[in-house]
Amino acid sequence: MHIKASVTARSPRSKGCLMCRRSKVKCNEVHPQCSRCARRGTECSYPDALELDFRDENSKAAARTAALWRTRTQAARLLHGCSAPSRTLEDLQDQILAAFYRDFDCSAKVSNPWIEFFQMLPTLYRRSARHPSSPTRQAIRALALAHHSRQQQQSVPQLEIMARTEYSQAITQIRLQLQRSHGIPSTETVVSVALMGLFDSILPSPAPVESWHAAHQHGAISMVRQQIASPTSAASINPYLLKYQYLLMVINCLNQRSQPQLPLQWWTAVMDPEFSAARLFCTMYRLAQWQAEIDSYIVYSNHHATADMVDKLLAANHALEAWEAQLPLSSHFSEREVRADDSQILQWPGAPSRVYVYETSWNAVPRTFCFATRIVICQNILLCRGDNEDAERTIVEMIRHICRSTHAVISGSGGRNDAEEGLSMRGRAIVWPLNVAFSALQHNPRVLEQVSLESAQWTRRALQHVLRLSGSSLALNMDYKTG
């Protein structure tokens, strides 16, 4: 496993503190206070690295706007014929938007904590029609077009051109809005930036960019930080947006072994204490912190701190096991044999012979997130201790739980509309648990041996399937070591 220190002496992206920038002098970028500010006794602060990432990517995207705009008219002609009226294009966009709302469960009538951010979008789209300067309308339309483009059986370059044109218009409007508000973002600006990050996970930039959608995720986090820090806007931040942004941030930090950039108390302040996954989310947040600390302890050979961390990890694993046992009946599952009429993924070689049945697809999500979190906890125990049969046994058990729950998440509970409504969103809900299971199989030969190569290959195919289902363009390293 790649280990990196969580502490650095200087920020490679800062290009000097704000005081040195203002004075147009060279800064030696020592943290927390540069030498010039220390010598002069002045306050020393650095630009937000997350915001710099976002603004750099924003500038690149905005530069493509003119070229993409020129191709839009040609794209419409190729799609509809030269004589097609503009109403036809508007009708097509309305159909694509309706399909996006259906696939991402935006139109769900019942409030759902897992999709409440997406349930905001139809209202924001209608509201933004009255404000031409709002980027939200273009951001939602860009995402809908990108999703529709990815869902087509064959490539439709005209749709992609239209999607990227809307994307670039949204970027331009975001820049203008931030300039007008002197850099203080509104909730709609943050929503638009978050949607741009989602867009880039569906249609990544054609240019070879290492971070692709990470820049927009960083920008959204930076804006959330600004909003909450500002006394005039803290009360107005939408809790649905905040919870969605936190969940994305924590999962990314768990994947990248980095510290969360926002404090836990902002998340817990908007979490419903009755929500069954509240404790799970707090554990995921703390686990992201612990991973970054573990990497630092290993780099600096701090064996005492590493041993203390193992105790924390063991306690967290036991606490999650107890939390799972106390979940309400609606989150419980029954078990049955796989049937011939089950979905195609259960007919593939290596598929589980038995599957879990939950009351609804969304009720399966907290369990699968718990299974994945316990895998990550036990992987860190192995990282600190080396061989540990209990940790390996738990990883194997959790992988099997995730595989048996996959069908329940993406198949629905058997209702008439389950096959259509929210399918892409449900696919995204199982991506992280399957990815954690897949990673554990890749990096631990003893776990792979116990699960079996055939089952591991099924896990890989199931992950590929849900990535296609959700429209994600994430690339995977699929190599298995069998020797």
- For residues 312 and 246, membership in a common domain is answered with no
Q: Are 200 and 213 in contact (CB under 8 A)?
A: yes
- For residues 302 and 332, membership in a common domain is answered with yes
Q: Render each residue's pLDDT in the chain as its tens digit; 483 residues.
A: 333 333 333 334 456 777 887 777 888 877 778 888 888 888 887 776 656 556 665 565 555 554 555 555 555 555 554 444 556 777 888 999 999 999 999 998 888 999 999 999 999 999 988 887 789 999 999 999 999 988 876 666 778 888 888 888 898 888 888 888 777 788 889 999 999 989 988 887 665 444 445 788 888 888 888 877 766 654 568 899 999 999 999 999 999 999 999 999 999 999 988 888 999 999 999 999 999 999 999 988 999 999 999 999 999 999 999 999 998 888 889 999 999 989 899 999 999 999 999 988 999 999 999 999 999 999 999 999 888 899 999 999 999 999 999 999 998 655 445 556 788 999 999 999 999 999 999 999 999 999 999 999 999 999 999 998 888 876 543 443 333
- For residues 316 and 463, membership in a common domain is answered with yes
- For residues 325 and 232, membership in a common domain is answered with no
Q: Are 433 and 255 in contact (CB under 8 A)?
A: no
- For residues 157 and 203, membership in a common domain is answered with yes
- Residue 265 forms part of a structural domain: no
Q: How far is 170 from 174, CA to CA, in rounded Å?
A: 6
- For residues 247 and 293, membership in a common domain is answered with no
In 3D space, the residue among 223, 233, 293 whose CA is nearest the CA of residue 262 turns out to be 223
Q: How far is 433 from 193, CA to CA, in rounded Å?
A: 25
Among 205, 224, 256, identify where a domain stops: 256
- pLDDT for residue 474: 63
What range does the domain containing 384 cover?
276-414+421-470
Collapse the DSSP code of 237 into the 3-class scheme (helix H, G, I; strand E, B; otherwise coil) and give the result.
Answer: coil
- For residues 149 and 218, membership in a common domain is answered with yes
- Residue 477 forms part of a structural domain: no
User: How many separate domains does the chain show?
Assistant: 2
- pLDDT for residue 35: 84
- For residues 187 and 232, membership in a common domain is answered with yes
- For residues 242 and 293, membership in a common domain is answered with no
- Residue 19 forms part of a structural domain: no
- For residues 227 and 283, membership in a common domain is answered with no
- Residue 21 forms part of a structural domain: no
H or E element, residue 337 = strand 333-337
- Residue 215 forms part of a structural domain: yes
- For residues 249 and 283, membership in a common domain is answered with no
- Residue 206 forms part of a structural domain: yes
- Residue 167 forms part of a structural domain: yes
Among 225, 256, 287, identify where a domain stops: 256
Among 256, 290, 316, identify where a domain stops: 256
Q: Where are the alpha helices (DSSP H) in 154-238?
A: 157-180, 187-202, 214-229
- For residues 221 and 332, membership in a common domain is answered with no
